[in-house]
Amino acid sequence: MSAKKTFSNWLTTKYLLIVRNEENFAEKHTYGFNYARVILIGLVIFLIALTLAIFLVRGVLQQWLDPRYSERESRNQLIEMRLGMDSLKYQLISRDIYIENIKKILSGGLDSEQIDSLASPEIRPEIILDEKLQPIDSVFRAEFENLELSEIPFESRTFTNEFRSIYLFSPLEGVISDNYNPKDGHFGIDLVGKENEPVKAVADGIVIISSWTLDGGHVLVIQHRAGLVSIYKHNSEILKNVGNFVTGGEIIAIIGNSGELTNGPHLHFELWHNSNPVNPEKYVGF
């Protein structure tokens, strides 16, 4: 009991450390402490130093001293570069296909049947090679040909899933004056807004067309990721050039009334996915 009491007293006994001037013994600082507090502070400092040492050994020092670390990093970078090159090559090929299809659509030189074949390649008549169809095939073909164009679902399940990771901005603050109606060849929506209202990009992308067409006036087309293309027609002024990278919500044009197929200031807005038109109202909050 005496030894325990002595040790406890040794830990809790308070001491006073006085710092004096060596020349005139004037008191400068005074510190109160006991051994229990000193041990606690020393333990905390030791744990911090140990944690820092472990971090340095497993992180910074490993980069400096371990030759395998640089080899692993180089290998990972090469793999990422290879994947990036493959992805870029695929995107360039896809972009060329999109540009060609969109140029055909915007040129105005295609009739409705050709536009339908571009818009929905899976239902082209060229697929049916056998002219002598079986009776059951003839019935199915007759029922299919009698379907209204608006009943044909252009959007696929893959397209819907891809949009879960993309947020689309509204291109214009306005009122929808004409809805999406592929039956009448209207593959987008018309938005009426204020005069000189700015038109915004719906998502990040690259401008692939920035030009004038007889029907659409000043037209801007942007290629986005996930195979998405957005089209903006009848602008009074275009603020972006081909090759410019734009971010979602960035101003790209000014609302207008250019082109022959317009009866007042508005924006004709379209969304295309893998050369298929889709209803913008399903994916953009206007």
Residue 225, domain member (yes or no):
yes
Partners of 33 in beta bridges: 15
Residue 103, domain member (yes or no):
no
Give the domain extent around 48.
2-65
Predicted local distance difference test score (pLDDT) of residue 119? 47
Number of domains observed in the structure of the chain: 2
pLDDT tens sequence across 162-197: 665 677 888 988 888 888 888 888 889 999 988 889
Residue 96, domain member (yes or no):
no
Contacts 24+ apart (CB under 8 A), 148-155: 148/183, 149/116, 149/182, 149/183, 150/181, 150/182, 150/183, 152/120, 152/123, 152/182, 154/119, 154/120, 154/182, 154/273, 154/276, 154/277, 154/278, 155/273, 155/276, 155/278, 155/279, 155/282
Domain limit, last residue, from 43, 65, 87: 65
Domain limit, last residue, from 65, 83, 107: 65
What percent of the chain is modeled with pLDDT above 90?
Answer: 17
Residue 175, domain member (yes or no):
yes
pLDDT tens sequence across 57-111: 776 666 666 666 666 777 777 777 777 777 777 777 777 777 777 776 666 555 5
Residue 72, domain member (yes or no):
no
Residue 277, domain member (yes or no):
yes
Predicted local distance difference test score (pLDDT) of residue 127? 37
- CATH number (domain holding residue 201): 2.70.70.10
Is pLDDT of 161 > 70?
no
Specify whether 52 is located in the same domain as 168: no
